[in-house]
Structure 1
Amino acid sequence: MQAYWFFGALVVLQLLGFGHGARGAAREWEGGWGGALEEEREREALMLKEALGLPDRRREENPASTAEGQGTEVTEEDQGDEEEEEATQAPPTPSSSPSPTPEDTITYILGRLAGLDAGLHQLHVRLHALDTRVVELTQGLRQLRETTGNTRDTVETLQEAQARAEREHGRLEGCLKGLRLGHKCFFLSRDFETQPAAQARCAARGGSLAQPADRQQMDALARYLRAALAPYNWPVWLGVHDRRAEGLYLFENGQRVSFFAWHRAPSPEPGARPSAAPHPLSPDQPNGGVLENCVAQASDDGSWWDHDCDRRLYFVCEFPF
């Protein structure tokens, strides 16, 4: 009976608009009071159901979730309390790495110094090994230089010996195949060379271009050339020139020429009328001036002719015997 009376009172209050006002206030204060009003309404509904003896549909529909919710609330509250107690009771945690003591610092420094000393010792050992290697290489280089110097001296000696042998061979060949006259030997070369090149070839064989010093040598050389080149007439280089000064004829050894055998134009026959013009094919020699500074001997009569030194002719060498 009392329950029915209480239920009727609540219905009257709802009809008078208190419920609508509460809902309006709840909408008006959603920012701050919305949650509290919602809890108040749920509490009033729960009290009404308990008074009327009605079962809770949410608990009947999902009893496990209700129990879990309560357990969760209790668990969360218990965990919060435990965390507060642990935070209150837990002593401050000491730092994981304790500060080093002076003894530890000294030990560390000594260890580092020992390592540096060991590294320095290794560097000294390697430096000593390098010094030894440098000394060995220096000695080897000195030996190589000495060997190279000896080899160079040997090569130069061999070259000098070869040159002497070639000169001796040329001299012997000239005297054996050519004309021996007193202490000289004359040898005709049938190669065409300029006067300087002919002199160089004669010198390489131990001689020089022919230098007839008197009439006897001149006549003997003329006979030798005539016999070697007959029946033709070839000019042959001699070792006579006036390159130093025009008209000053010297031998290749620098001595002044005192005997000459210049070609002269033939004299007119007896009773023939003399001609003022020289013979065009056999003018008197020398006639080339500064353009012809070297002397060649004709092989047919042994007369001397001046020619351009760069003309290529046969040549005759002279060797000492």
Structure 2
Amino acid sequence: MKKYNGFTAVKGIDFDVRPGECFGFLGPNGAGKTTTIKMLCCFTPVTRGTLEVLGHDARRQPREIKARLGVVPQEDNLDPELTVAENLLLYAGYFDLPRAVAQERVEELLAFAGLEEKAGVAVEHLSGGMKRRLAIARGLINRPQLLILDEPTTGLDPEARHLVWEKMRQLKAGGVTLILTTHYLEEAAQLCDRLVIMDQGVILDEGAPRELVEHHVGREVLELAPVNGRAGEILPLVAGEILAYHTIGQTLYLYTSNGRRLWRQVQGLDGNFSHQALRPATLEDVFLKLTGRNLS
């Protein structure tokens, strides 16, 4: 639990992260994801409860945790006047790495991030995607067992986002355990082995992305609009084919594991729907079912 001046930002949550996996926190802004990350990184103390990171108590052994931890914060805190290589060397100094070892790791990480040609360029002249790759490289300078990334691709264009995803997959393949916070559905589905869905400081559910989708909403979603208050009339006619449903405005969302059969049933309904769409179910639908609102 974490409280700030009487406000409970994170309530009684419980989770564990397995070695070598990518574990995600999915939720909207204000869900408590970043506060949870700050506690994991020992940046802010736990108000109540127990938190163990890499076998160490976060309250009693923060130095031991930080020595084995890599962090990529949500906000860009690179030194803009320094060059790419200088940023990495400066950060290596925080871990008391010998100069020769630090230089070797800088060259290794520049290659990993695809920034060799930018080594002598000031950070202020880099693109957003390059800055994020540099931030990830910096978080790896101490060869951490656990890398924590808080909203690592926020604000990036699609190409830059995919490049960052590629680097994260390489790290996981190399045995690094990753913890990721995100509000991007595709990012969570692409990268996470398991995740928790958070909202208003609590965990709503936990599991593998595909398992969560199939458990809560099935494999497909049929959207019908406008329903004009006819949901109570429509639902009994399709009850045998749906796992759950939700209405937002004039759109009725029907969750099913047999979209084709449900589609055929709907075609026989007496209604003039200007919008009918059958699509694969996503984590957005899970969040919508659990909270009654979109993930935004």
TM-score by length of 1: 0.19
Higher strand share: 2
- Structure number with the bigger relative contact order (C-alpha 8 A, sep ≥ 6) is 2
Higher helix share: 1
Whose Rg is larger? 1
TM-score by length of 2: 0.20
